[in-house]
């Protein structure tokens, strides 16, 4: 399971403040905490806090200064993505994200190739968020085709079916599950499939339960990556347990611990 | 015409390399060291990855004479049994043992119940007689082993021996000794893949490094559950190559003790007409068992009969691409 730590995001006040004041303390704290929790990538996102690509470069540097973990450069603005990639010290990285828009694909696929990056593609296009399974699959196929034609291999591609808050769009969760199952047929071996996991729990009172139940169900449908709260031990335990049930890991009494060791977590 | 698909896999994680023995440069007195493991692919898949360290053969020596050893395997050591130093020397000088496994059978409370000091003396005698790395295997009685190993591990301090075994129920003494005196350890489980993983995690939990462990998944002689062990070793190896760090250890098989207790290796032809000369059959049984485990991923074999050792080393050489 590819675990992408969500916490270095200017949607959180401490990170927004860090960017504004250029005080890296909070960034460093979350970089270390998420790395020690076993994150595969650390997502780095300046969000709406800044329009300046230089801030993305600063945030990437603040993160990579304290941990060796690969970085997910997260922005809807291509200029910010470029600035983040340029700031990287040569470690493995992920571009988060492109959509199925041809204009975006034309620029971001070559950028991923140039920087040896993986690429996360959202199953949405200029028409907005998909409301059914077919639109998700159509968009994902667009991203997949462009990525493969552009020189990426399926193992460097992560497709995201767009997870929505269950409180406001309850019918979409099953559509996402079905879309995940269909994404797995795009190639053999399939591309990775990822969701922004916290979305489903937006404004939900029983947030943790909804997130973990969906996560396990999605894994059973083929999900193998998630942008999530990697510091939440119950979420990690749910992933470890799901991998166990799916016979992806050898059982041992301490299987959660074994999962954390494998993920490179501090144990 | 369609091209033949390339079935080669690129495994993400190599198996750990473990070195036993320490020369003077590293604070020991061995004249050679032995490194096992380090594979980046399944056994002998040279087309796909590398096996930087060929599987190795250690020979078994006891601190007491091997009274229950069948005649066929006792005969080559008739002159030296009872003298662990001379026995070990014969294994190395005459039969090409790459390491010596001293089994402290004499400490067994149901046998001679020898003292920890006597065990340490035997270990020092063997260490003085040969230059190859040493493996020291307890008598199998947890309580007694926990008394014996503190003295033996200290007597061999700095020699970077391989000591065994730790199990799910008994791992704290040996892990502490391994850390204190610089020895590697054998992690044992009873033909149970889940426990094989668990005992490694327990060792890690008390701070013993994963890189210093060998997995001993138990061994069955040919005809006695070998397929169960084989499939467990295969699964462990595949999981290790896929990146499961708590099972990415080299594997050890205790061949001799298992083979030389089964009828096929020890019954004289007079008892089993048609089975052929036991003097030929016994070593063949041991070599065939060893070869099977090599294909399952064994990195270190503990064996007894010189002819079986010779055949097995020849097999390894061929499987590694050497010889004709």
**pLDDT by residue (tens digit) across B213-270?**
999 999 999 999 999 999 999 999 999 999 999 999 999 999 999 999 999 999 999 9
Q: Which residue of A has its CA nearest to B248?
A: A262
For B246, the closest of A251, A253, A261 (CB atoms) is A261
Question: How many Cα atoms are found within 13 Å in the side-chain-facing hemisphere of B204?
Answer: 21
SS (H, E, C) B18-38: EEECCEHHHCCCECCCEEEEC
Q: Does the beta-carbon distance from A250 to B239 stay under 8 Å? A: yes
Cβ-contact B33, B18 below 8 angstroms: no
pLDDT in tens, A116-132: 999 999 999 999 999 99
Instruction: Answer yes or no: do A254 and B202 touch at CB < 8 A.
Output: yes
Q: What percent of chain A has pLDDT over 70?
A: 100
Q: Which of A196, A253, A120 is nearest to B200 (CA)?
A: A253
Task: Report angle CA B257, B263, B266 to the nearest 5 degrees.
Answer: 70
Q: Which residues contact B200 (CB under 8 A, 6 or more apart)?
A: B187, B210, B213, B215, B246, B247, B249
Q: Is the pLDDT of residue B275 over 70?
A: yes
* A170–chain B Cβ distance below 8 A for any pair: no
Give burial (CB, 10 Å; 0-12/13-18/19+) of B194: middle
Residue A235 CA to residue B252 CA, distance in Å, equals 37
Collect all residues of chain B within an 8 Å Cβ-Cβ radius of residue A252. Answer: 194-195, 197-198, 201, 246
The pLDDT of residue B1? 65
Nearest CA in chain B to A251: B194
Q: What is the mean pLDDT of chain A?
A: 96
Contacts for B323 with CB less than 8 Å, ≥ 6 apart: B314, B317
Give which of A109, A92, A187 is closest to A141, Cα–Cα: A187
Tens of pLDDT along A26-81? 999 999 999 999 999 999 999 888 899 999 999 999 999 999 999 999 999 999 99
Instruction: Find, in chain A, the residue whose alpha carbon is nearest to that of B235.
Output: A250
| Whether A257 and B205 lie within 8 Å, measured CB to CB | yes
CB contact under 8 A, B246 and A262: yes
Confidence of residue B322 (pLDDT cuts 50, 70, 90): confident
Tell me if A61 sits within 8 A of A85, measured CB to CB.
no
Which residue in B194, B204, B246 is closest to A251 by CB distance? B194
Containing domain of residue B174, as a range?
17-319
What DSSP character marks residue B65? -
Gap between the Cα atoms of B293 and B234, Å rounded: 10
Cβ contacts below 8 Å, chain A against chain B, sum to 40
Domain-located, residue B219:
yes
How far is residue A29's CA from residue A21's CA, in Å, rounded to a whole number? 16
Instruction: Give A187's contacts in chain B (Cβ within 8 Å).
Output: none
What's the pLDDT score for residue B323? 54
Percent of chain B at pLDDT exceeding 90: 96
Q: How does strand B251-254 pair with strand B298-303?
A: parallel
Measured CA to CA, the distance from residue B49 to residue B51 in angstroms comes to 7
pLDDT of residue A265: 92
Rounded to a whole number, what is the distance in Å from the CA of A206 to chain B's nearest CA? 33
Minimal Cα–Cα distance from B201 to chain A, Å?
A: 7
Q: First and final CA of chain A: distance in angstroms?
A: 18
Q: Can you give the C-alpha Rg of chain A in angstroms? A: 17
Residue B6 lies inside a defined structural domain of this protein: no
Residues 216-275 (B) with a CB less than 8 A from some CB of A:
235-236, 239, 243-247
Residue B74, chain A, CB below 8 Å: the answer is no
- The chain A residue lying nearest B189, using CA atoms, is A252
Is the CB of residue B179 less than 8 Å from the CB of residue B208?
yes
Pick the CATH number of A2-262 from 3.20.20.20, 3.40.50.1110, 1.10.238.10, 3.40.109.10: 3.20.20.20
B195 contacts chain A (CB < 8 A): yes
Side-chain half-sphere CA neighbours of B97 within 13 A: 27
- Report which of A193, A233, A194 is spatially closest to residue A212, judged by C-alpha positions: A233
In the structure encoding, which two tokens stand for residue B200, read together?
């490694």
Residue B76's Cβ-side half-sphere holds a number of Cα atoms within 13 Å equal to 21
Interface probe, candidates B13, B187, B192, B198, chain A, greatest A C-beta count within 10 A: B198
The answer to whether B136 and B21 are in contact (CB under 8 A) is no
Q: Nearest-CA distance from B192 to chain A in Å?
A: 10
Q: Residue A136 class from Cβ within 10 Å (0-12 exposed, 13-18 middle, 19+ buried)?
A: buried
Domains of chain A, by residue range, sit at: 2-262
Q: Nearest by CB to A250, which of B193, B205, B245?
A: B193
With both helix axes pointing from N to C terminus, report the angle between A255-262 and B193-205 in degrees, rounded to the nearest 10.
70
Gap between the Cα atoms of B10 and B15, Å rounded: 13
Taking alpha carbons only, the member of A129, A186, A123 closest to residue A154 is A186
Contact between B173 and B165 under an 8 Å Cβ cutoff? The reply is no
Instruction: List CB contacts (< 8 A) between A251 and chain B.
Output: 193-194, 197
Indicate the burial class of A204 (C-beta count within 10 angstroms; 0-12, 13-18, 19 or more). middle
Contact residues, chain B, for A189 at CB < 8 Å? none
Q: Which of A54-58, B8-12, B276-280 has the lowest mean pLDDT?
A: B8-12
Annotate A156-204 with DSSP letters as a single string. Answer: GEEEE-----TTT-TTHHHHHHHHHHHHTTSSSSPPEEEEEGGGGGTT-
Q: Would you call B100 helix, strand, or coil by DSSP?
A: strand
Residue pLDDT, tens place only, A151-200 = 999 999 999 999 999 999 999 999 999 999 999 999 999 999 999 999 99
Residue whose tokens read 């390339």: B6
Name the residue among A13, A33, A29, A32 with its Cα closest to residue A21.
A13
The pLDDT assigned to B324 comes to 47
Residue A240 has pLDDT above 80, yes or no: yes
Asked whether the beta carbons of residue A250 and residue B236 sit closer than 8 angstroms, the reply is yes
Cβ-defined contact of B244 to A251 (cutoff 8 Å): no
Backbone dihedral angles phi then psi of residue B199, each to the nearest 5 degrees: -65, -35
Domain holding B80: CATH number?
3.20.20.20
| B247 vs A250, A253, A267: nearest CB | A250
Average pLDDT of chain B is 96
Number of domains forming the structure of chain B: 1
Nearest alpha-carbon partner for B222 in B281, B164, B273, B165: B281
Strand, helix or coil at A99?
A: coil
Contacts of A193 (CB under 8 A, 6+ apart): A158, A159, A160, A161, A180, A183, A184, A222, A223, A224, A225
| 3-state class (DSSP) for residue B208 | coil
> Which residue among A250, A257, A262 places its CB closest to the CB of B243?
A262
d(CA A249, CA A137): 29
Confidence category of residue B74, pLDDT binned at 50, 70, 90: very high
Residue-wise pLDDT for B148-199, tens only, equals: 999 999 999 999 999 999 999 999 999 999 999 999 999 999 999 999 999 9
Residues 218-257 of A with CB under 8 A from B: 249-254, 257
pTM: 0.87
A262 touches B: beta carbon within 8 Å: yes
């Amino acid at each position: 399971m590819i675990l992408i730590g969500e916490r270095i995001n200017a949607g959180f006040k401490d990170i927004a403040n860090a960017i504004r004041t250029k005080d890296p303390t909070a960034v460093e704290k979350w970089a270390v905490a998420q790395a020690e929790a076993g994150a595969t990538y650390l997502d780095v996102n300046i969000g709406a806090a800044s329009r300046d690509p230089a801030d993305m470069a600063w945030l990437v540097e603040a993160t990579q200064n304290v941990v060796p973990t690969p970085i997910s450069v997260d922005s809807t603005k291509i200029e910010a993505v470029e600035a983040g990639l340029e700031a990287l010290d040569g470690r493995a990285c992920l571009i988060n994200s492109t959509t199925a828009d041809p204009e975006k694909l034309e620029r971001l696929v070559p950028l991923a190739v140039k920087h040896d990056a993986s690429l996360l593609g959202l199953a949405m296009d200029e028409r907005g968020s998909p409301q059914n399974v077919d639109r998700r699959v159509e968009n994902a196929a667009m991203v997949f085709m462009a990525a493969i034609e552009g020189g990426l291999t399926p193992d460097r591609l992560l497709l995201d079916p767009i997870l929505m808050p269950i409180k406001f769009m309850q019918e979409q969760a099953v559509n996402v599950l079905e879309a995940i199952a269909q994404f797995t047929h795009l190639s053999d071996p399939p591309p990775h499939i990822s969701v922004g996991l916290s979305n489903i729990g937006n404004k939900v009172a029983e947030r943790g339960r909804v997130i973990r139940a969906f996560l396990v169900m999605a894994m059973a449908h083929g999900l193998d990556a998630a942008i999530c709260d990697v510091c939440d031990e119950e979420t990690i335990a749910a992933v470890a347990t799901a991998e166990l049930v799916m016979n992806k890991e050898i059982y041992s009494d301490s299987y959660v611990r074994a999962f954390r060791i494998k993920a490179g977590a501090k144990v | 015409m369609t091209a033949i698909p390339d079935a080669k896999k690129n495994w993400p994680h190599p198996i750990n390399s473990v070195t036993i023995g320490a020369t003077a440069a590293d604070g020991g007195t061995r004249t050679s060291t032995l490194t096992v493991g380090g594979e980046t692919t399944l056994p002998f898949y040279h087309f796909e990855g590398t096996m930087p360290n060929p599987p190795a053969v250690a020979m078994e020596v006891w601190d007491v004479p091997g009274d229950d050893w069948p005649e066929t395997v006792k005969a080559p050591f008739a002159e030296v049994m009872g003298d662990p130093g001379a026995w070990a020397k014969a294994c190395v000088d005459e039969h090409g043992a790459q390491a010596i496994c001293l089994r402290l059978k004499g400490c067994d409370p149901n046998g001679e119940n020898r003292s920890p000091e006597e065990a340490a003396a035997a270990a020092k005698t063997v260490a003085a007689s040969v230059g190859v790395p040493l493996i020291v295997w307890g008598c199998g009685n947890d309580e007694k082993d926990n008394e014996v190993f503190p003295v033996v591990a200290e007597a061999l301090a700095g020699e970077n021996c391989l000591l065994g075994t730790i199990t799910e129920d008994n791992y704290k003494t040996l892990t502490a000794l391994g850390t204190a005196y610089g020895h590697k350890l054998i992690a044992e489980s009873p033909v149970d893949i889940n426990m094989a993983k668990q005992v490694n995690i327990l060792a890690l939990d008390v701070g013993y490094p994963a890189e210093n462990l060998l997995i001993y998944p138990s061994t069955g002689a040919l005809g006695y559950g070998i397929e169960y062990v084989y499939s467990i070793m295969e699964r462990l190896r595949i999981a290790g190559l896929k990146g499961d760090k708590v099972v990415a250890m080299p594997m050890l098989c205790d061949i001799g003790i298992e083979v030389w207790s089964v009828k096929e290796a020890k019954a004289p032809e007079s008892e089993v007409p048609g089975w052929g000369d036991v003097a030929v059959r016994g070593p063949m049984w041991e070599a065939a068992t060893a070869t099977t485990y090599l294909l399952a991923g064994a990195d270190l074999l503990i064996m007894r009969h010189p002819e079986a050792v010779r055949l097995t080393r020849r097999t390894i050489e061929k499987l590694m691409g050497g010889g004709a």
